[in-house]
Amino acid sequence: MSDDFLFAEEPEQVESTNHGSWKILIVDDEPEVHAVTKLALSDFSFQGKNLAFFSAYSGAEAKQLIAEHPDAAIMLLDVVMETDDAGLLVASYIREQLHNEHVRIILRTGQPGQAPERQVIINYDINDYKSKTELTAQKLFTVIMSSLRSYRDILSLEQSRLGLEKIINASADLFSSHSMEQFIDGVLQQLTSILGCDENALLVSSSMVAGNISGDVSDPHKLVVFAGQGEFERQEGKPVQEVLAPELLDAFETALKSRGIVYRDNYLVAYCTSKFTHGSLLYISGLPGAITANQKKLIELFSQNVQIAYENVQLQHEIEDTQREIVYRLSEAVEHRSIETGNHVKRVAFICYELGKAYGLPEEEAERLMFAAPLHDVGKVGIPDGILNKPAKLQGQEWEVMKTHASIGYEILKNSKRSIIQAGAVIAQDHHEKWDGSGYPAGKQGEQIHIYGRIAALADVYDALRHRRCYKSAWSLEQVLAHIEAEAGKQFDPKLVEIFKSRVDKLEAILQKYPDSED
Report helix, strand or coil for 200.
coil
Could you tell me where the beta strands, DSSP code E, fall in 9-156? 22-27, 51-56, 74-78, 104-109, 128-131
Contact in structure between 348 and 376 (CB atoms under 8 Å): yes
Alpha carbon 87 to chain centroid distance? 42
Contact in structure between 494 and 447 (CB atoms under 8 Å): no
| Angle (nearest 5°) at CA 316 between 310 and 321 | 125
- Distance from first CA to last CA of the chain, Å, rounded? 88
| Angle (nearest 5°) at CA 49 between 47 and 53 | 135
- The one-letter amino acid code at 188 reads L
Q: How far apart are CA 458 and CA 62, in angstroms?
A: 65
* DSSP code, position 290: P
Q: Which one of 63, 346, 357, 380 is the catalytic residue? A: 380
Count CB neighbours of 142 within 10 A. Answer: 11
Cα separations (Å) of 222 from 162, 166, 226, 234?
32, 29, 13, 19
Contact in structure between 200 and 230 (CB atoms under 8 Å): yes
Give counts: helices (H), strands (E), the chain. 19, 10
Q: How far apart are CA 61 and CA 367, in angstroms?
A: 55
Report helix, strand or coil for 217.
coil
Answer positive or negative: Cα dihedral of 278, 280, 283, 289: negative
Nearby residues of 104 by Cβ (< 8 Å), 6 or more positions away: 73, 74, 75, 127, 128, 147, 148, 150, 151
* Cis before 441 (ω within 30): yes
Q: How far apart are CA 37 and CA 52, in angstroms?
A: 12
Q: How far apart are CA 112 and CA 80, in angstroms?
A: 10
Long-range CB contacts (< 8 A, 24+ apart) of 345-349?
A: 345/373, 345/374, 345/376, 346/374, 346/514, 347/463, 347/510, 347/511, 347/514, 348/373, 348/374, 348/376, 348/456, 348/459, 348/460, 348/463, 349/373, 349/374
The answer to whether 296 is a known catalytic residue is: no
Rg of the Cα atoms in the chain: 35
Active site residues: 380
